[in-house]
Chains A and B, each alone.
Chain A
Amino acid sequence: MIQLIPRENVSPVLSLLGPLFSIGFTMLIGGILFYFLGVDPFAAIKMIFWDPLMSETFSTYSIPQIFIKGAPLILIALGLSVGFKANIWNIGAEGQYIMGAIFGASFALSLYPLESAFIFPLMVFIGIAGGCLWSLIPAILKIRFNVNEILVSLMLVYVAEQILALASLGFLRNPDGAGFPGSRNLSQYPSASNSELILGTGIHLGVVLSLFMIVFFYILFFRHSLGFKIKLLGSSPKAYSFSGQNPNKLIFICLTLSGGLAGLAGIMEVAGPAGQINIDFNVGYGFTAIIVAFLGRLNPIGILFAGLVMALTYVGGELTQFMLNLPAAAIQLFQGMLLFFLLSFDLFVYYKIRLRGN
């Protein structure tokens, strides 16, 4: 029989080797897959992992793009990680992301074409509030009626998607857009535009905030009493209550924090790279971020790397598609495999495996 024994101290060597092992395994199996699809596996793997970072042709453009693609993933995953540590499962970040974008954009577009320095900060604030509001619904239902927050937050994603459809076809539709669905382009509205900070790179405020938040959450988790409380609630809810703490307060904080960050990611994206509210404005960042949070082992530094690796596979994957004619589906499959291996091999990080005779 195989027995799992939880490790008391997670060795840093193993924590690093786990992901490397997974990436290697994915390369191996993915390479075989690419070979059978008639694509040079070495070239494909190199193009996914190496070229966006190192190639002379692409890297100056791709490296900032990896951060831009990774920023919403990192922002959302950071917020989610707080709740996940405390065993509070917000899986509806996709909805909170959408609502953040809609709230912020609605505010800014209602003032169009007024120009004022106050619009941008207020819009960001309202975007965050929109995300919070959407995550407060599962928070209140959990606190008041003990309703499972996993399910409520997931249901609210579908509701948010319908509101998004309503917005892009109705109340936010661009009056000068020849009747097509979609709002005005916020990046072309100077007072609301989340414009690039470093010229020519596309790096915007959201990217900077995502890096800043990593530091913030690192301090929160490892240097602040809230981080300790979160861990305690997650590992032993009973001990938490006995220590005289109110778990409801923490549920409230965790869900608001994750919703707010998802909302922030949403408003940053809609006012920046995406530009406009549209029916398929959301491309699944909220769900991908859940994976990122786990790949990063709910640790801010880990989330940074996980988010960037995820973004790298998108950017490099696109490159591979049109350079080597690899179908989009093969890249998706490759990503799925990478995630499976990464999630699976964490076993060796957290547990010792012992074989014993019956």
Chain B
Amino acid sequence: MITYLWLIPALPLFSSVILGLFGPVMGPRVSGAVGTISVGLAAVLAVSIGLHWISHPPTNSIYEQTLWAWITLPGFSINLGLYLDPVSLLMVLVITVIGCLIHLFSTEYMHGEDGYSRYFAYLNLFVAAMLLLVLADDLAVLFVGWEGVGVCSYLLVGFWFSEPTNGYAARKSFVVTRIADIAMLAGLLLLSTKLGTLNIQAMLTGAVATWSAGSLMPTVATSLLLIGGLGKSAQVPLQTWLPDAMAGPTPVSALIHAATMVTAGVYLVVRTHALFLLAPHVLDAIAVGAVITLLVAAFAGLVQSDIKRVLAYSTMSQIGYMFLALGVGAWPAAMFHFLTHAVFKALLFLTAGAIAMRLNHEQNIFAMGGLRSKLPLAFWAFLIGSASLAALPIISAGFFSKEMILGAVAAAPMPGLILWACGILGAVLTATYIFRVVFTVFLGPLKTEVSGSYGVRIAVPLVTLSVGALVVGWLETPEGLGNQTIFSRFLTPAVGVFHHLPVSFMIPLLGFAAPLLGIGIAYVLHRNGTWARATTTMPSKLTIFIRSGCGFDMLYDELFVVPYMTLVRVLRHDPVDSMFAGLQYLAIVAHRRLRAMQIGQIRRYASWMMAGSVATIAILLFS
């Protein structure tokens, strides 16, 4: 069974090629079926490998499969190989299962769109690239998947290409991540030059053997890798692309910009965590950056009026939590939050898409209202997703993963408590901004017309994910709530044993209270109409500043875009060419001067010849 591992990325890749070549001929029904079934098969394969794994784990819990030698040169070789360990298995499961559900959702959601088969070709290609990313056993191969998902994200964000703003958003998302990727590429070059290999395991072993903790090389290398990860995961200061990326179809946002691709940075750090352990300063920086991100994004999420933008900022903020866990070395906590976040955020996005679908693609929450009775399925799904995002105690998955992170942060050495406090503040804000959406959209009077109905292909993913968002948290529970450790034990072979460190009883208690407080704030402000009033009155400068994501866009425009465009404008007519045009001008001037001598009179020519001869002879004689 496990020997068919290569089929998992190969299936969606193959179907993507088929759809790309023959999609227009096959028609929408077949295209959708091919796209969904290929990912479905991959999911079935992944689940059976996972089940087999649990019953018969391979030696050291590692399974390697070398497909072929990609590049073999003296002193530098790269094998195209797959590396399956608990971490990548978890990623594969999430990608294929959630990917399959989102494909299924898309077949109904995208119904009647132009380029239906193109959409599935891109989406399958994305799944294949993402699987390659998580399964790669070599950083260079990982980079192939890394850029591959970036391009698919670009193509899918700009899927509705006739709208120029979509194209702009797509380009922005690609270019910002590309900037990060170049740093990552530099990191790869540095690592491969210094350690002689990019094979992840060999590289890590080599790094641990050669470099001492805190020395310069691992710090530089991990910083470079980290920049790549920050870009992909939309963390400060490279986060600006994510809200704009919401221009794509909503299932795309669910799959790429919530569940899978944006967590690639987290995966990268976990995958190379042995290297990061050699660079404690970088880990500290991760933690600080994560706190900044999660607060900035949470504040920004508080004032958005577009439902997808709220979710985009919340994604940023939640990935901030994952990075916070990474910063304190709580790898399983990060992975656990990745898992629960993938489930509930995919659910939230899909539900948002499902709502907008029935409201003639309305995404402004203040244009909605009272949808609870009209769209019961969407209401319950969104409520469950929101509860999970807000980390509502006990009943939601998000609670357990966030608790695991905050517990680990609180137990971390010195700045731990400050970071934890920020995390709690973030948790309050999270609950506030998401329940602001819930109350605005589902309570109050009905404001819009609701049309159509949900088919089974929308209902199944929503229900499945809702169930997931309720139960998946029980894989790992803190002391006092069962002390379940299935999840961290599963990951132990890859990332080491995870200890739930003892913390003061206040810590979990405040973790309990924070979401409830947030929901309370949201409800009070909803009841007294503050949320709704904010849209009708002129927003204050502060609101505008926060709504724009704390001005990063404006700053980058001034810092990079404007100088770049100026440079392009200056250079566009090729100044070097003008220099050569100067030579041409010189020739023309000389020509004008000299042609005055060519008057067509033989006698004049003869005199000149004579004069020339005399001069030559004179020079010869007297020199």
Are A and B bound to each other?
Answer: no
Residues of A participating in the B interface, judged by any CB pair closer than 8 Å: none
Residues of B participating in the A interface, judged by any CB pair closer than 8 Å: none
